[in-house]
Structure 1
Amino acid sequence: MPQQLAKTMTKKHRKIISLLGSIAFTLSSLSQAATIIPSPPQINAKGHILVDFTTGKVIAEGNADILLAPASLTKIMTSYIVGKELQSGNIKNDDPVKISKNAWATGNPIFKGSSLMFLEVGKEVPIHEINQGIIVASGNDACVAIAEHIAGSEGAFADMMNAYAEQLGMSSSYFENSHGLDSTEHKTTARDMATLAKALIRDVPEEYEIYKQKSYTFNGIKTVNRNGLLWDKSMNVDGLKTGHTAQAGYSLVSSATKGDMRLISVVMGTNSERSRLVESRKLLNYGFRFFETYTPYKAGEKFVSDRVWMGDVKEVDLGILEDTPITIPRGQRKNLKANFELNQQLIAPLAKGQVVGKVFLQLDGEDIGEYPLVTLQEINEGGMFDRLMDYVKLQFQN
């Protein structure tokens, strides 16, 4: 194929390979009947989103980009920073945190009527206790204490929060404090909260482990985790965080697993504690019932062999260097197809891992995944006679 043609290749010119053919995916369920996929459920919330953790596929959404007050969902960012600081060695779990007047549970008027860990001014409390106070007890005092310990002041910590938000791609979020009590410009979106939840689970797994803890006792005061889905035996929920203020309403970011699939659900601004659980459950059940996370190809797996010119062998194996997880409707594996296009003629020498084109995964004629196509072996130049013969053949072919 002339290189000029390869560069302008469209979908209809691609080399299409049915996944039921010679490079078919290994499927155990080809005989399953196709499932009719209903529309996503109606969610009674100001904003919501359901995302596949592994692929980033948005399965359902509504008003996912409108600015909303996050309330205690803010603490996910505070916790993320704690996790990153622990990971980098800047702080340690046993480090003592001295409680200032700003973090005094009964001495700071902004805490009145809010969730607290009940810290006492002048006391020293280790970081691992403060961390549980933030995640499980949702203590606003604990957030101020850790913010001052890490950054020197809550204002400086808010700057860190916004820097991390920018780094993670949370383009609509702005944080003014570490706890989420209502503040004029303190806003986020359901989509940004899903992005943050994904980052927490992916980047600081040891921190995320705390989110499934159902209760926490400090100074004889027991606090129960407000995420009621942790007790739901119908699904495997292991996080994340609730939030509530008069301005924000009732919100919940949750995550659950089923087999190889992990989903992240965000509902913001429901009208009751029960409602945020019901709406979250509706989203998670919809995602698990009608969709699946599936990896057709593994990194380094052969995709196809193709002709190589002027080499010491006649063919080279082509594949990908990364796994190819995708989110698809249940019952649709048998309808997946793969195709590829080369962006160059395969002329030796070729280095192992050299990008020579693209692999496309398709469902119902639409691309749902795109990956670099690479050589899986090194190909050296052939002998002079073989190269001369291939050169002549190329002139005729071109």
Structure 2
Amino acid sequence: MRVRIIALLFLIYAAPFANAQDFQTTATHAVILDYETGEILFDQNGGVPMPPASMSKLMTILMAFEAIDRGALSLDDELPVSEYAWRTGGAASGSSTMFLEVNSRARVEDLLRGIIIQSGNDACIVIAEALSGSEAAFAADMTARARELGLTSASFANSTGWPDPGQQISAADLARIAAIIIRDHPELYELFAEREFTYNGIRQFNRNPLLSTVDGVDGLKTGHTQESGYGLVASGVRNGTRRIVVYNGMESERARANEGERLMRAALTDFDVIDLAEAGDVVGEAEVFLGQAETVALRLNSDVRLGLHVNARDDIEAVVVYDGPLPSPISEGDVIAMLEVSAPGVETRRYELEAAEDVDRQGLMGRALAGLGSLFGFN
């Protein structure tokens, strides 16, 4: 049985907005995440694993930040630059580099800037070798740590994002890594906002195009390979609200910059998180068969929160779904129905509804009378 309800102020947001489906992106994969609640506000293939290119360096950075927190590394430690790190991630490889010299030593703080600002593959490998002994072992550690954090789409084959069939992660999980970095490592996160870094006499600039075009943006990381296209993980704050944008598959650096600016401005102004109801709220009732009461009140056992485009606020709908009438007896707390909440551009959410009260079964006489009524067509 499906019963449409408009209680709990689900439909109070009437306004002359266009359809929320009008908001689109040319990116192949994209999400907008609300930092405070973890709600996904916009999703276009956001849960589909993709080649992340250098955006996967965020996991390398997180591993380094966590090592610093537990005392395995310090910002002043000087780490050795192996021939493998120099040859595989240095200028000779044709990849992004911070121009480390073979058999030299580099401070961890410089290596972090080299990764964050210059996207240095050589710096990633130095960190990987210092923490796990080899880049392959570090990649396995990255994957294991991602699983511990609930990032089920993540699989790492290297520390840099270099193309590999085993290097996969979804845009949604990249956004979650960014949120973890911001929440758990606020002081180190400030490195992401630095505009330039000079190392070994070579001055390089932060590749994040939004740092200079959108007020409030303070991170995080670009990515590009032929396989992945151009992508970006970015975060910004406006009026105390932080949003994280991840997108990939753009055709050029310019397209990445333009689309990133549009997505971030929309993230900060055109999306909303609405708290629709709280755990314990009664949202409706269900019919009961052969009970001492004809209906039973239904209450939520979890909060109902929805992230969506502001254009969709007047089209939120909620439906109580149950297979009824429900047989008695019913005990308070029994899960007996579901609440389905939907809106344009948002995947339908389902929440358990439990009985808010006991409903005892009718006595023998009551059941007999009910049976006779049913036999003769009386209600």
TM-score by length of 1: 0.69
2-structure distance, mates of 1:394, 1:202? 58
Aligned to 2:18: 35
SS of residue paired to 1:300: coil
Counterpart AA for 2:273? T
What is the distance in 1 between the residues matched to 2:160 and 2:75?
Answer: 22
Aligned residue type for 1:206: D
The offset of 1:116, in angstroms, is 1.1
Correspondence 1:302-341 to 2 at 5 A = 302-304=282-284, 317-341=297-321
Distance 1:239 1:389 in 2: 71
| CA gap 1:359/1:120 in 2 versus in 1, 3 angstroms | same
CA distance in 1, matches of 2:17, 2:322: 33
**1: CA distance between counterparts of 2:139 and 2:373?**
64
Count of residues paired in the alignment: 359
The partner residue of 2:245 within 251, 264, 284 is: 264
Post-superposition Cα deviations, 1:202-232, rounded to whole Å, max 9, x if no partner, equal 4442247346422465779775432121233
Relative distance call for 1:132 and 1:322 in structure 2 (3 A) is farther
SS of the equivalent of 1:339 reads strand
Change (3 A) 1:246 1:373: closer
Say which of 218, 222, 226 aligns to 2:207. Answer: 226
Does the 8 A contact of 1:76 with 1:196 survive in 2? no
1:17 equivalent to 2:43? Answer no
State how far apart, in whole Å, the 1-side matches of 2:331 and 2:22 are: 48
Cα separation, 1, equivalents of 2:50 and 2:337: 41
What is residue 206 of structure 1 aligned with on the other side?
184
- Paired residue type of 2:172: T
Of 256, 259, 263, which aligns to 1:276? 256
Q: d(CA) in 1 for partners of 2:265 and 2:373?
A: 55
Q: For the residues of structure 2 that align with 1:55 and 1:241, how far apart are their CA atoms?
A: 21
Q: 1:306 to 1:248 in 2, by over 3 A?
A: closer
Task: For residue 17 of structure 2, give the secondary structure of its aligned residue in structure 1.
Answer: coil
What amino acid is aligned across from residue 158 of structure 1 in structure 2?
A
Matched-pair contact (CA < 8 Å) for 2:49–2:171: no
The 3-state SS of whatever aligns with 2:223 is: strand
* Shift of residue 146, structure 1, vs aligned partner: 1.7
- The answer to whether residue 159 in structure 2 is matched with residue 195 in structure 1 is no
Q: Which residue of 2 aligns with 1:76?
A: 58
SS in 2 for 1:168: coil
Matches within 5 A, 1:159-170: 159-163=140-144, 168-170=151-153
Name the structure 2 match of 1:10. none
Q: Distance in 1 between matches of 2:247 and 2:292?
A: 56
- Contact 2:41–2:309 (Cα < 8 Å) also in 1: no
Distance 1:397 1:132, change over 3 A: farther
Do the aligned partners of 1:102 and 1:144 also contact (CA within 8 Å) in 2? Answer: no
Q: What amino acid is the match of 1:24?
A: L
348, 351, 354: which is aligned to 1:371?
A: 351
Q: For the residues of structure 1 that align with 2:232 and 2:33, how far apart are their CA atoms?
A: 17
Q: How big is the shift at 1:277?
A: 0.9
Q: Secondary structure at the match of 1:177?
A: coil
For residues 308 and 55 of structure 1, the distance between their equivalents in structure 2, rounded to whole angstroms, comes to 36
CA contact (8 A) 1:265 1:284 kept: no
1:111 counterpart = 2:90? yes
Instruction: Report the Cα offset of residue 147 of structure 1.
Output: 0.8
- Report the Cα offset of residue 343 of structure 1: 5.0
Please show how residues 385-396 of structure 1 align to structure 2 within 5 Å: none
Structure 2: any 5+ residue segments left out of the alignment? 375-379
The offset of 1:341, in angstroms, is 2.6
Alpha-carbon distance change, 83 to 102 in structure 1, aligned in 2, over 3 angstroms: same
Report the Cα distance in structure 1 between the residues aligned to 2:21 and 2:296, rounded to whole angstroms: 44
CA shift at 1:157, angstroms? 1.2
- Corresponding residue number in structure 1 for 2:377: none
Deviation of the 1:56 alpha carbon = 3.6
1:391–1:367 CA distance, 2 compared to 1 (3 A): farther
Counterpart code for 1:294: I
RMSD: 4.5
Alignment of 1:286-297 (within 5 A): 291-297=271-277
User: Distance in 1 between the 2:83 and 2:297 partners?
Assistant: 64
Q: Aligned pair in 2 of structure 1 residues 369, 122: CA closer, same or farther (>3 Å)?
A: same
Change (3 A) 1:50 1:67: closer
8 Å Cα contact 2:3-2:319 kept in structure 1? yes
Aligned counterparts of 2:261 and 2:24: Cα–Cα separation in 1: 11
Matched, 1:147 2:128: yes
Q: 1:309 to 1:269 in 2, by over 3 A?
A: closer
In structure 2, relative to structure 1, the CA distance for the partners of 1:37 and 1:48 (3 Å cut) is same
Rate the CA distance shift 1:124–1:391 in 2: closer, same or farther, 3 A: farther
2:117 paired with 1:136: yes
Per-residue deviation at 1:372? Answer: 1.0
Structure 2 CA distance for aligned equivalents of residues 210 and 250 of structure 1 = 24
Contact map agreement 1:117 1:137 (CA 8 A) in 2 = no
Distance 2:317 2:228 in 1: 45
